Amino acid sequence: MKKIIASFVVTGLLLSNPLVSNAALGDRTLKSGMTHVEVKQLQEVLKQKGYFTNKTTTTYFGTVTKSAVIKFQKSKGLTADGIVGVNTYKALGITKKTYKKASTNSSTTLINNAKKYLDVPYVWGGSTPKGFDCSGFLKYVFEESTDVNLPRTVAEIYKKGTKVSSPEVGDLVFFETYKPGASHAGIYIGDNQFIHSSSSKGVGISSMNNSYWSKRYLGAKTY
């Protein structure tokens, strides 16, 4: 009899515990005191944007998370109440789809697709595997790999996205080359390297530490 009762208790806990549900960030309002897998997802996004500073993320929405949310809200001119609702999600650029794109698996897909076009020649105005210019390559790969529809020029792409203090795999890195402002960009692939279409070599991989690129680096953004 005790085993049967215990079985019902365990089953009840599993059915009522939100941590075992298939949660997607953006589904619910998050606030201090909550424990949910979406809190961990929120922390990961805030960490990527430079607001959540703890080394590890958890499912608990405590004072550190609230402080990070408030800092982000203030930076975006939102009501700084530490509650993550519709407006805060919008400012974060969070939907079910965008969080999925930011996941490791989706970033891997993006990089793998980009590498398929290594050695494709540079073509001014090119936006197909027959030949890419800088922004044409980025736009093509993002549309192939994600739901993100990037603008056609680097300058316009730079106006979009969210600035990050340091790039993670799948982020875009920007450079100032032949004119003031962002005029060249590539996809960060890790280990201080990025893949891009350059006028001299076509699609290839370069080091962020390269003397030419390091002097012209403007920053990174996530999309």
How large is the average pLDDT for residues 43-59?
90
State pLDDT tens for residues 60-113.
Answer: 999 999 999 999 999 999 999 999 988 898 898 876 544 444 445 578 889 999
pLDDT of residue 24: 64
pLDDT of residue 107: 84
State pLDDT tens for residues 16-41.
Answer: 333 333 346 776 788 999 887 788 88
d(CA 17, CA 199) in angstroms, rounded, equals 55
Active-site residue set:
134, 184, 196
pLDDT for 11 beyond 50 = no
What is the CATH code of the structural domain delimited by 22-95? Answer: 1.10.101.10
Residue 121 Ramachandran class (φ > 0 left, ψ -120 to 50 alpha, else beta): beta
The CATH class given to the 103-222 domain equals alpha beta
**Residue corresponding to tokens 């203030």:** 74
Q: For the chain, what are the domain ranges?
A: 22-95, 103-222
Residues 6 or more apart whose CB falls under 8 angstroms from that of 128 comprise: 136, 140
